Amino acid sequence: MTAKPQPGVAPGLLQNRHYSGTLATVLYNWPIFVGIFLFGVAALVCASFLAAPWSALLLVSGVAALAFIISVPVVAYFVYDWGQFREYDRLFELGELAQANVVIDVTAGKLRGTRGLLSRVTQGHYFIVDIFDPEKMTDQALRRARELEPSLESDRRIYRRSAKPNQLPIPHNWADVVYCSFSLHELQRAVDRDAIFAEFTRILKPSGRLLIAEHGRDWRNLLAFGPGVISYFSASCWNRHIARAGLVVKHHERWRGLVHLWVAEKKSR
């Protein structure tokens, strides 16, 4: 489902549970970090040659740029890698995955959450459904993620499928759990998001659970990640998609202030 990585340092680093999220943030977005760094350095250099008020403006801009490229990895470490408990561990508990027989992991190519969940889901059937569409998902960070992601290593059999948002290759009323980790926002068109949520309702068993981890388009994520927040959607947007699909939110919380975690359930008959 992802491009086979070439031997190198990046795949090995991304497999390390202790800092994979932090490194993924940097490696997937490295051109942006380089650009901001060069701008910061150039602004500080130019500030030394110009008179006020331009020197002050460039000095503040340069310091802010350099502070930003330091703060983003720090925030990423706090959100994804700090401590022994991750957001996928929390969803594992909230979604009662220990009892699940059929788990459908819907992704656009980022597999950090998949690796984390697979380390805990030790029974039943595990399907990875790749919804990547190169024509619609043009984000270069996602493409780099697909190139750099290391192959999954698991002692169990993993079923892999490619799919469109409106055609998940899963039977009706079959899945105990559908898991989506930081991938649904790649569906930038509302019609595609509505379509995939309708598919979630179709494939889930009655009382089956949908688990979602997504950043929000809000002031907290803006402060943490800057303009990149525009690629996310608000919590109310996801709540509307869940409701329109006929699912019921059983639990919603903020993970470390920046990530929304949902557990939604299909109504039993």
Q: What is the mean pLDDT of the chain?
A: 92
Q: What is the pLDDT of residue 9?
A: 57
Q: pTM for the full model?
A: 0.91
pLDDT confidence bin for 11, thresholds 50/70/90? low
Q: What is the pLDDT of residue 12?
A: 67
**pLDDT above 70 covers what percent of the chain?**
94
> Is the pLDDT confidence value at 54 over 80?
yes
Question: Any idea which of 13-27, 134-148, 163-177 has the lowest mean pLDDT?
Answer: 13-27
So where are the chain's domains?
A: 20-81, 87-266
The CATH homologous superfamily for domain 87-266 is Vaccinia Virus protein VP39 (3.40.50.150)
73 CA to centre of own chain: 15
List pLDDT tens digits, range 22-50. 999 999 999 999 999 999 999 999 998 88
